[in-house]
């Protein structure tokens, strides 16, 4: 007889599953787990236990420096004897040169203010004890990346180990994390003129933009831009550290990103290096574009950036990319500027996935766009905590059900655990509690999407999907028979 207990299903012994692997039994198990899930949906402890134990596939929207918790940064700075400016709570890595009032961690750690400075640091590094009167939440969020990126790069291995430990502890088996693309200073004689001709371009300027980008592309190649990507890929640290992370149950892969708030030729140059590196190294599975979407330059050059992706796609047709698009809410920009970001990312840039997509309902033709996303299987990466903190969009204001009802593939991601002091489990808890029309089978499909729509190579994707399906069989047996 099946006995469903509301609590402690996680705590008992491992059940042999061989007796329950036939299809009809498993189907009944899934149905019973689905019923059980509805019983516990609004019981916070049981729901948390359930979703912690549930296999969660992948976290596909994950920025390297934002996913590291402040405590880890603090440990790295302490152990490596980094620097702190105690009045501004700025930090720097060991080896940097600073004058007073900057102070070495070795000295600071002997002072009585060390613990209080750590707390102040954690507040800078994340939303811990966030005080809205101190400034806008989006600025607080985005400032963490420039503040801690150098420390994150200083000791990448520690960050990767943190990701892996957290992932294994909450049954996540794959992460795509975003790193800034490397850059190189190449001065092109015609650069200023080319830049002027494309700055602020609209879609109607696409012929000029493509002609100019053709010339920029050729000039950059002639100037040896390929060496930067080659050097990055052959830099043994990344590969070496990667080898220590991957195992039979967990994998980490990279997307390289450009910064949409830089000048046009800088954006293009970094994107080209990112595409080149992705074509050279199978650990780099995709390309992205980051930074606040409502920034002055990112708004001015949004269409130009989409044309850049279309141009690079011609040269690198096999390289996948996801684009942050529609990470905007009413009031952040003029209403007419909410009408086109997602559609251009899908239709002009040809993105395979969309990050956030929050302003979809403000698009000029949102329903046809949803149809296209459904047909082309363009997944949307939903980041509930992030959208709540940065955009103040949550509950019924969030378009997740709009996407779901139009059968656009959804994935759930963190963006980012360290800054938001969250994890993927909490994102699923928010999904379950805020959206009762999303049932257990929908959640299973969303989890599966995270592997299906990942940028993993096909053979690795198949292996991960097989592991995920087995993990769900085991999970459902454990839920039902404990
Ligand atoms: Zn993001």
Cα distance between residue 442 and residue 398, in whole Å: 17
Percent with pLDDT over 90 in the chain: 82
Is there a contact between 454 and 100 (Cβ–Cβ < 8 Å)? no
User: How close is the Cα of 474 to the center of ligand 1, in Å?
Assistant: 32
Instruction: Return d(Cα 399, Cα 401) in angstroms, integer.
Output: 5
Query: How far apart are the CA of 458 and the centre of ligand 1, in A?
Result: 25
| Cα 355 to ligand 1 centroid, rounded to whole Å | 7
- pLDDT digit string, tens, across residues 240-298: 777 789 999 999 999 999 999 999 999 999 999 999 999 999 999 999 999 999 999 99
What pLDDT score was predicted for residue 150?
Answer: 80
What are the boundaries of each domain within the chain?
69-153, 157-471
Give me ligand 1 centre to Cα 396, in Å. Answer: 22
Residues 6+ apart with CB under 8 A from 204: none
In angstroms, the Cα distances linking 460 to 137, 142, 160, 168, 242 are: 38, 33, 20, 18, 16
Per-residue confidence band for 234, with pLDDT thresholds at 50, 70 and 90: confident
**Which residues have C-beta under 5 Å from ligand 1, the single-atom ion?**
415
The pLDDT tens digits of the residues spanning 439-473 come to: 999 999 999 999 999 999 999 999 999 999 999 99
Q: Please say if the pLDDT value at position 13 is more than 60.
A: no
Cα of 409 from ligand 1 centre, angstroms: 18
Cis peptide before 444 (omega within 30 of 0): no
Q: Considering Cα of 439, then 442, then 448, then 454, what sign does the dihedral take?
A: negative
What pLDDT score was predicted for residue 236? 65
Calculate how far, in angstroms, residue 159's C-alpha sits from the geometric centre of ligand 1.
Answer: 17
- Cβ burial, residue 147 (10 Å; 0-12/13-18/19+): middle
Q: Report pLDDT digits (tens) over 155-174.
A: 888 999 999 999 999 999 99
| Å from CA of 325 to ligand 1 middle | 10
pLDDT at 20 over 70: no
Average pLDDT score over residue span 316-335: 97
Architecture of domain 157-471: Alpha-Beta Barrel (3.20)
pLDDT digits (tens, 9 = 90+) for 359-371: 999 999 999 999 9
Sheet of 83-85, strand order: 90-92, 83-85, 103-104
**pLDDT tens digits, one per residue of 374-421:** 999 999 999 999 999 999 999 999 999 999 999 999 999 999 999 999
């Amino acid at each position: 007889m099946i006995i469903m207990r509301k609590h402690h299903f996680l705590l008992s012994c491992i059940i042999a599953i061989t007796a329950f692997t036939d299809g009809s039994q498993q189907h009944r198990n899934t149905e019973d787990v689905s019923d059980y899930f509805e019983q516990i949906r609004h019981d916070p402890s049981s729901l948390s236990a359930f979703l912690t134990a549930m296999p969660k596939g992948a976290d596909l929207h994950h920025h390297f420096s934002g996913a590291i918790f402040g405590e880890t940064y603090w440990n790295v700075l302490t152990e490596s004897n980094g620097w702190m400016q105690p009045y501004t709570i700025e930090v720097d890595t060991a080896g940097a040169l600073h004058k007073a009032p900057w102070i070495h961690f070795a000295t600071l750690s002997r002072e009585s203010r060390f613990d209080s400075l750590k707390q102040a640091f954690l507040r800078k590094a994340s939303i811990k004890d966030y005080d809205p009167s101190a400034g806008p939440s989006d600025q607080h969020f985005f400032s963490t990346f420039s503040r801690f990126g150098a420390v994150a790069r200083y000791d990448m291995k520690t960050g990767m180990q943190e990701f892996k430990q957290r992932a294994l502890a909450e049954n996540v088996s794959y992460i795509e994390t975003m790193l800034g693309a490397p850059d190189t200073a190449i001065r092109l004689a015609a650069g200023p003129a080319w830049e002027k001709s494309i700055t602020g371009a609209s879609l109607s300027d696409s012929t000029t933009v493509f002609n100019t980008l053709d010339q920029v592309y050729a000039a950059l190649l002639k100037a040896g831009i390929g060496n930067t990507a080659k050097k990055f890929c052959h830099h043994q640290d990344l590969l070496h550290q990667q080898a220590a992370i991957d195992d039979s149950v967990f994998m980490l892969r990279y997307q390289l990103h450009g910064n949409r708030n830089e000048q046009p030729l800088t954006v293009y140059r970094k994107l080209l290096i990112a595409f080149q590196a992705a074509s050279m190294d199978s650990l780099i599975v995709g390309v992205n574009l980051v930074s606040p979407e409502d920034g002055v330059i990112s708004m001015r050059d949004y269409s130009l950036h989409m044309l850049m992706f279309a141009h690079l796609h011609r040269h690198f047709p096999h390289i996948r990319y996801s684009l942050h698009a529609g990470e905007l809410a009413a009031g952040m920009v003029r209403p007419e500027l909410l009408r086109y970001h997602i559609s251009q990312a899908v239709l002009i840039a040809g993105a395979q996935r969309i990050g956030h997509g929050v302003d979809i309902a403000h698009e000029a033709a949102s329903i046809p766009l949803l149809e296209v996303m459904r047909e082309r299987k363009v997944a949307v990466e939903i980041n509930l905590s992030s959208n709540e903190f940065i955009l103040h969009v949550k509950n019924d204001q969030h378009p997740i059900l709009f996407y779901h009802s139009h059968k656009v593939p959804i994935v759930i991601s963190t963006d980012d655990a360290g800054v938001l002091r969250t994890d993927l489990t909490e994102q699923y808890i928010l999904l379950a509690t805020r959206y009762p029309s999303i049932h257990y089978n929908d959640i299973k499909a969303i989890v599966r999407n995270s592997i299906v729509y990942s940028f993993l190579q096909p053979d690795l994707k198949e292996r991960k999907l097989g592991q995920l399906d087995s993990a769900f069989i085991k999970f459902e047996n454990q839920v039902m028979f404990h």
